[in-house]
Amino acid sequence: MQAGAVTSTIKSIQRGLYALPSGGGTVAVGAVNTSKAKLNFLGFLTSETTIMNSNAYMTLTNSTTITFNRIGGTAGYVTVSWELIEYN
């Protein structure tokens, strides 16, 4: 390696927003190595009247799919902000 060269441990970063329908759904992402990837929750927006009705979780289901599930209320919207980082 040359002096002053910068190396990164991050191979890729993907980010997005997902508006959860009643029950949940999936988002297609660029392929990652699941053993070297980390899925981060960045926050959410909701029209639900209580936090209990806004509960949701997400899982990196396979190398190209994030699965979102919603717990609680289904009348209002819940939009989740996510980030998927793949490391070298």
All residues at 6 or more sequence positions from 61 whose CB lies less than 8 Å from its CB, including other chains: 26, 67
pLDDT of residue 71: 79
pLDDT of residue 1: 53
Burial class for 68, CB neighbours closer than 10 Å (0-12, 13-18, 19+): buried
For the chain, the domain total comes to 1
Instruction: Answer yes or no: is 19 within a domain.
Output: yes
Rounded to 5 degrees, what angle do the CA atoms 80, 81, 82 make?
A: 115
pLDDT tens digits, one per residue of 32-87: 999 999 999 998 888 776 666 667 889 999 999 999 988 776 667 788 999 999 99
Instruction: Answer yes or no: is 64 within a domain.
Output: yes
Domain extent at residue 55: 10-87
Q: Which has more pLDDT, 29 or 5? A: 29
3-state secondary structure of 30: coil
Secondary element (H or E) of residue 53 = none
Instruction: Answer yes or no: is 1 within a domain.
Output: no
Instruction: Answer yes or no: is 2 within a domain.
Output: no
pLDDT tens digits, one per residue of 18-34: 998 777 899 999 999 99
